[in-house]
Amino acid sequence: MIKIAPSILAADPLNLERDVRRAEEAGCDWLHIDVMDAHFVPNLAYSPKVVRRLKEATSLPLDVHLMMDHPETLAECFLDAGADILTIHAEADTDPLKLTEMIHRAGAKAGIALKPGTPAEAVLPLLGQAELILAMTVEPGFGGQKLDESVVDKIRQLRDTGWQGWIEADGGIKEDNIARLFDAGLDVAVMGTALFREKDMRPAVERMHQMIRKSEA
């Protein structure tokens, strides 16, 4: 069954702990945390301190996505704060091999993210260094965008390489497209507004799983 990872970017910042509890009670699998430097993407969020507090507040694995030009400057801080998975961008100005080695030394899983316009080929040399590939299905930086349908083919292409690790997608995922993404090879669905806008997340999560079961039938 596909993993559901609610993105706290869509949570209420004044009631973050409450919304994390809602995600737990709904049966979500991971908690997705976008870290933005206001340069690689035109937005700013979240600090290692937020990750540390979330680590204290939840037992859900923390899936931390560094949308940064120079992720090496803060990667160790986020690992120390409790990131269970740390994802960097293939487009970032950094040495991905060096950084994935650091992530693994800290006992965390390493991920490589691709923007919608970056071809799957860009990540192929790094497949042996990561446990997760994140295919952005919207331009990173803001929630509430519509899914870029061309990324569905990219997910299929990544799976067709024989990749056995997690394939994650983030952006515009909802009930009417999650089954299509699953059929293409998706393992982890990052969802923001589609979950946090619901008064009760559990029925929404159950509907997502039902869509997947129908797809498998």
What is the side-by-side strand order in the sheet with 132-136?
3-6, 188-191, 166-170, 132-136, 109-114, 85-89, 62-67, 31-37, 44-45
Q: Annotated active-site positions, please?
A: 34, 170
User: Exposed, middle or buried: residue 50 (CB in 10 Å: 0-12, 13-18, 19+)?
Assistant: middle
User: Exposed, middle or buried: residue 4 (CB in 10 Å: 0-12, 13-18, 19+)?
Assistant: buried
The amino acid that residue 197 corresponds to is R
45 Cβ contact list (under 8 Å, min separation 6): 9, 34, 35, 36
Dist CA 34 CA 55 (whole Å): 15
